[in-house]
Amino acid sequence: MNVQEYILSGVVESYVLGLSNAEEKAEFERMCAAHSEVRAARDAFEQLLEKQLLSQAIAPPANLKSKIISEIDIENDKRQGKKVVSMKQSPAMQSGWLRYVAAAAVILLVGSTIMNFYFFTQYRKYISKYDDLVATQTQMAKLNETLQTKVQDYQAQLNIFSDTSMSIVRMLPAAPDGPAIGGHTTVYWSGNSKDVYLVVNNLPKPAVDKQYQLWAIVDGQPVDAGVFDIQNGPVKMKNIPNAQAFAITLEPKGGSTAPTMPIYVVGKTTG
């Protein structure tokens, strides 16, 4: 996992909100010390929380601060043995003071509840966004893998056709009234590597229990060059060191040791 994936994993929010366990906390602090990006993400989230809290803050009564300071001064004078001179408060004043204290306590309780709910909601949102991001990254990775495979296939085909030693054998129907009327295939045969590639331009679709088989004609005898299915692009067949012609027959699925007549298409080599 790289630094950006670590930041997006939700660990920053968990640490700042105090939801991390001891091991996660230690790991996060280690990452903060090692990576400025992690520290920046932590600081940004803390500033966001502070901004949210300040925007939702509830102002206390205007005279609450002066009353609290007055009580602190009276308590300090008592500890120092000073004589405290104060006006006797009426029951109404005492009751008003108690109401302020009670109101402040309620405000703190409500504020705490709102903060907890806000943190929980934000945490859920970050988890949801992280899951969406992971799903998107997974889709992009699969798409990239598919595109890379296609590029590799195209590059392989380009290498085949750019081989200057490549012989091209055009295969046409063996008989005008044969089973492959309008049939056309092409064999690419490398004079250097002796590799054989077959491109099916047009052949009848075989039955499910049948399969086409390529034969190399060597000194008048058929040599198995492999079975194939109809597909786009060149198909790699068996290596053939020498051949005077190539032919295709329709065989039982998996191929035969000897060709079954009739021949569908045939073509002579130029060598």
Mean pLDDT of 247-263: 94
pLDDT at 266 over 80: yes
Please give the pLDDT value at position 67: 63
User: How far apart are the C-alpha atoms of 47 and 135, rounded to whole Å?
Assistant: 29
- The whole-angstrom distance between residue 90's C-alpha and the CA centroid of its chain comes to 72
Question: Which range scores top for mean pLDDT: 41-55, 72-86, 150-164, 216-230?
Answer: 216-230
Tokens of 167: 């012989």
The percent of residues above 90 in pLDDT, for the chain, comes to 29
pLDDT at 59 over 60: no
Query: Greater confidence, 85 or 43?
Result: 43
Can you give the residue ranges of every domain in the chain? 3-131, 166-268
Q: How far is CA 146 from CA 48, 132, 134, 140, 143, in A?
A: 40, 21, 18, 10, 5
Among 18-32, 79-93, 137-151, whose mean pLDDT is lowest?
79-93
pLDDT at 213 over 80: yes
Q: What is the DSSP string of 184-241?
A: EEEEEEETTT--EEEEEEE-PPPPTTEEEEEEEEETTEEEEEEEE---SS-EE----S
Residue 10 is given by DSSP the state I
pLDDT at 251 over 90: yes
Mean pLDDT of 12-38: 84
User: How far apart are the C-alpha atoms of 177 and 171, rounded to whole Å?
Assistant: 16
Helix residue ranges per DSSP H, the chain: 3-6, 12-16, 22-34, 36-55, 64-79, 91-161
CA angle centred on 87, ends 82 and 89, rounded to 5° = 125
pLDDT at 85 over 50: no
The percent of residues above 70 in pLDDT, for the chain, comes to 68
Mean pLDDT of 51-60: 60
Mean pLDDT of 132-138: 79
Instruction: Beginning with the edge strand found earlier in the chain, give each strand of the sheet holding 245-252 in spatial order.
Output: 221-228, 210-218, 245-252, 263-268, 166-173, 184-190, 196-202, 235-236
pLDDT at 211 over 60: yes
With cut-offs at 50, 70 and 90, classify the pLDDT of residue 208.
very high
Please give the pLDDT value at position 181: 86
User: How far apart are the C-alpha atoms of 234 and 232, rounded to whole Å?
Assistant: 7
Read off the pTM. 0.46
Hey, what's the torsion of the CAs at 127, 133, 137, 140, to 10 degrees?
150
Task: Tell me what the pLDDT averaged over the chain comes to.
Answer: 79
In the CATH scheme, what architecture does the domain 166-268 have?
A: Sandwich (2.60)
With cut-offs at 50, 70 and 90, classify the pLDDT of residue 20.
confident
Residue 183 is given by DSSP the state -
pLDDT 10s digits, 236-250: 999 999 999 999 999
Please give the pLDDT value at position 132: 78
The residue behind tokens 């205007």 is 62
Please give the pLDDT value at position 87: 47
Please give the pLDDT value at position 270: 76
3-state SS, residue 169: strand
